[in-house]
Structure 1
Amino acid sequence: MTPPRLQLLTRQDCHLCVTAATTLAEIAAEAGLTPATVDVDADPDLQAEYGDRVPVVLLDGQEHSYFTVDVPRLRRDLGLTGGRRRTGPG
């Protein structure tokens, strides 16, 4: 069985995880996806690898970003367009 396209590795009582889950859900919805949430503390292997740097976003089973969702990169990697428009020079 293949893993879900988007996964969020998280743990209870993690304020960064709550913020990341909200952001990830919004971007996933744009792409027609539903992210899966995985509690790293429920799996000793995940806890050992990711426990000190959650939340972690996995895209197609590969680490994509951690601590925060890298929104521009994730949107690009999911083939989404229409990111924030730049205002002013540059």
Structure 2
Amino acid sequence: MLPLGFLGWIIIGGLAGWAGSKIMGTDEQQGILMNIVVGVLGGLVGGMILGLLLDVNSGGWIFSFVTCLLGAILLLWIYKAVKGRTT
């Protein structure tokens, strides 16, 4: 299986960030660039967390998407929790 390149992470991260923002109800507040950032950062966070439990390097595109999605949802949940306390 080929590893994901830079463009692959941008595409998967953007899709995962968009899906995560839809699930968390923050899509109206974010643009495409922020969806990509949240998805890619979510991939890093999700990869670190799932890396403790599973072998994340052997997963394919779908596993990478799910990892990014779970990380994006976690990041957006934390953001909403912090934002909710300050306002």
TM-score, normalising length: structure 2: 0.31
User: Considering only CA atoms, is the larger Rg found in Structure 1 or Structure 2?
Assistant: 1
More strand by share: 1
More helix by share: 2
